[in-house]
Each structure stands twice: as structure tokens, then as C-alpha cells.
Structure 1
Amino acid sequence: MSTPEVRRGRPPTFDRAAALAAATRLFWQNGYEATSIHDLTEAMGIRPGSLYAAFGDKRALFNEVIEAYGRSPAGEFIWAAMAREATAFAAFHRILFDAATMYTDPETPAGNLLCSAAAADVDVAIYMRDLRNASVDTFEKRLTTARDEGEIPATADPRKLAAYFTTVMHGMSQRARDGATAAELTDTADLAMAAWPATTA
């Protein structure tokens, strides 16, 4: 029987979930580059040594923040709509209208964390780019199914439509950070859905 691993040092004396939530808000508000270790430890209410011991370095903490964000309502609403709505039209309608509400929620920083936390660091920038591009792939897959099932015309291009709806979402995130209201973003969502390719009767 293997011997249980013994963790050295004193265990954390802070609320890890609360500290992670504070780090999330800070990265969301300021972006990766502009958020310093000093800013993080101050917001999280811990010392630098505790941050490094519990989370690793700044990059490791940021990775954990992104993973936790993906499991939160603000991060998983796209996948929830894809899973729960019976049609592609209903899924995209829900995604855009939910985005209008979530991106302007006064309880969280404006916009979407994946769009807001831009970084000059090359590795982080590539990491964030790949996460954002995952939406295009997910959208394309759903739209391809919609085309195969006759929900959208056979002539529709799922990849171009996926890129379009991703661009709308990212633009809505930036508009929210620039002060757009939920009503304004709802109007944008309405206009975007008007571009949905309809099949002929």
C-alpha cells in the first residue's frame, strides 16, 4: 500500500474560493498584463508567499481563474444554450440575448473575461486566442448540424456564420466595457438574429 503524500508547510488559512473570486474580478477588470502580484495579494487578502504556495505564480493563478470562470454562469452560458435548446436558432437567440444581460450585469465587471483579459505576453495571448476561437468551432459544429437537418439552407456556410456570431458576441463584450446598456446590446442581438439564414417555404 502506498504511503499518503505528506504536504509540507502550514495549510492555507484563507478562504481559497473567495481569494480566487477576488483574483477573477481583478483580471476581468484590468486584464492580465495590468494586474500585478501586489494588486492580487491586496484584493485577495493574502501575502505573496501564500499566493505562490496556494496557486503557484501569476500565470498559474490566471489559468485557474479561467478554468473557474468557464464553470461559472458567466462562462458556461454558451454551452448551456447549445445543450438545452432544441434548435440552432433558439440556441443562438438565447446566447446573444443572455450575453446582453450578462455582459452588463452590475454584479460583475463588464463584458466577457475571455475578451477583457487581453495580454501582451505571447503565451498568454495565444492561450486566450485559442479559448476564444473555440467558440467558432462550437458554433460551426451546431450550424453544420442545422444545415444537415434542413433548419438552415443547404447553401449556408456554417464556418462563416460561426465567425459572424462570434464577432457579434466579442463586439458586444467590448461595447459593454465601453458603457453600452443591456437595452443597446439587446438591440444588437435582435439585428444579429435578423441575419439568420431562412429556408425557403
Structure 2
Amino acid sequence: MARTATYDREDLIKRAKTVFWKRGWAGTSLKDLEAALDTRPGSFYAAFGSKEALYKLTLNKYAQEGAEKIDALCVERGPLGALQAYPRILVEDPTMGGHACMLAKTFLELKGQDHALAEVANDLLVMIEKKFADLFRSAQVNGDVAVHYDPETLARRYQSDLLGLRVLAARAPGQAQDIARDMAAELGRLGPGVQSD
């Protein structure tokens, strides 16, 4: 019985994530959520407490799913291979729906209002940036990235490029695919003995 409730709750969070991701915090009403989740007001509040509490759960779910994709790629391709493949997957994955990063959208929408959810989004962006830094560090240990590069700086640039890529994917998918390939090629030039421009 408990397993069914957990599964249903996870499904509701995923569905809410899709709504919030498309419409943003302000653009999503409780009626939108009730319709998407097929719940009544009383059931919604019993399950999640508030719109803000549910939004926080969806942000964490979004970040978790991204981290899991990166981990799976790392097992399959190694650290550098994962970093090279991830931009293309972000552009081509149909579940992304041509939307910009949910964390970045939330931060930009709510930072000016000093909303607590902006800090949640920022913390998750920092967490993901650290994950990228760890991958660059591991790639250095493997000999795929020269040791004179700073992993934190590489991760910051990489995340910045990904955020821009996601916006481009919403505007011009074909161009975004070209940029994703360019990103992979540039990462391949970080190895020892490769002359940088």
C-alpha cells in the first residue's frame, strides 16, 4: 500500500514539474495544478501543503533527473565522454520539450522578488556545477584533460554554455545541435599536449 502511494506521489511531482517548467511560478495557478494532477483543492493541500512546497519538490526532481543522466553517461562513456555527450542529449531529448533550464528560469523569475525558491534554484545550480567540476577533475586523473586547467573554472564555463544552449534549442533546434557538437569538439581539445588557442 505504501509503495503505491509513493509511486503516485512521484508521478504527481513529475506532472507538476512539467507544468511549472512550461509556465513558470507566476504563470501556474492552483487550478492549473489541480487539472494537471487530477486532484481537488483538499487533496492537493493534503498531499503537498502548498504550491511553494510542491514547486520546491519539482525543482529537486528536475535536478535529480539531470544528475542521474550525467551519472549514466559517465558509467557508459567515462567523465570526459559524459561531458561531451550531455549537451547533445539536452538538445535532442524529447522530454526537454524545447524549454530552457527550469532552475535558471526559476532563479531569473524570482530573484528580483527575493523569493525563497530563487535560493533553492541557485543552490541546485551550484550543486550541478560542482558535479561538473568533479567530472573535469576525474577526466584529469584519467589523463583526458590537462592538469593545468582549473576544474571549477571549466565547470562554470561549461554550465554557462549549457544554459545558453538550452535557450538556443528553444529558438533554433538545428543551430543548437551544431553548437552541441562544437562543445564536444572543444572539450576534446583540453587534453595534455593539445595546443589551446
**Separation in structure 2 between the aligned mates of residue 198 and residue 45 of structure 1, nearest angstrom:** 52
**Separation in structure 2 between the aligned mates of residue 124 and residue 163 of structure 1, nearest angstrom:** 22
Letter of the aligned partner of 1:35 in structure 2?
Answer: T
The correspondence for 2:191, drawn from 190, 194, 198, is 198
- What is the aligned partner in structure 2 of residue 83 from structure 1? 75
Segments of structure 2 that go 5 or more residues without pairing to the other structure are none
SS at structure 1 position matched to 2:58: helix
Aligned length: 182
Distance 1:150 1:21, change over 3 A: closer
Structure with the greater alpha carbon radius of gyration? 1
**Separation in structure 2 between the aligned mates of residue 24 and residue 91 of structure 1, nearest angstrom:** 25
Q: Does 1:113 align with 2:102?
A: yes
Identity %: 25
Q: Does 1:180 align with 2:172?
A: yes
Deviation at 1:107, TM superposition (A): 7.5
Alpha carbons 2:80, 2:136 under 8 Å: kept: no
CA deviations over 1:138-174 (Å, ceiling 9, x no partner): 1111212222342222211211111111111111122
SS at structure 2 position matched to 1:85: helix
Worse overlay, 49-58 or 107-116:
107-116
Alpha carbons 1:115, 1:173 under 8 Å: kept: no
RMSD over aligned CA atoms reads 2.5
Q: Map residues 116-195 of structure 1 onto 2, 5 A cutoff.
A: 116-118=105-107, 119-120=109-110, 121-177=114-170, 179-181=171-173, 183-195=174-186
**Separation in structure 2 between the aligned mates of residue 123 and residue 170 of structure 1, nearest angstrom:** 22
- What's the TM-score once normalised by structure 1's chain length? 0.77
Distance 1:165 1:60, change over 3 A: same
**Separation in structure 2 between the aligned mates of residue 82 and residue 189 of structure 1, nearest angstrom:** 17
Alpha carbons 1:41, 1:51 under 8 Å: kept: yes
CA deviations over 1:8-52 (Å, ceiling 9, x no partner): xxxx9xx64554343221101011232222321233222222110
- What is the aligned partner in structure 2 of residue 6 from structure 1? none
Alpha carbons 2:85, 2:184 under 8 Å: kept: no
The correspondence for 1:61, drawn from 47, 54, 61, is 54
Distance 1:76 1:149, change over 3 A: closer
Distance 1:29 1:127, change over 3 A: same
- What's the TM-score once normalised by structure 2's chain length? 0.79
Alpha carbons 1:23, 1:65 under 8 Å: kept: yes
Distance 1:16 1:170, change over 3 A: same
Structure number with the higher helix fraction is 2
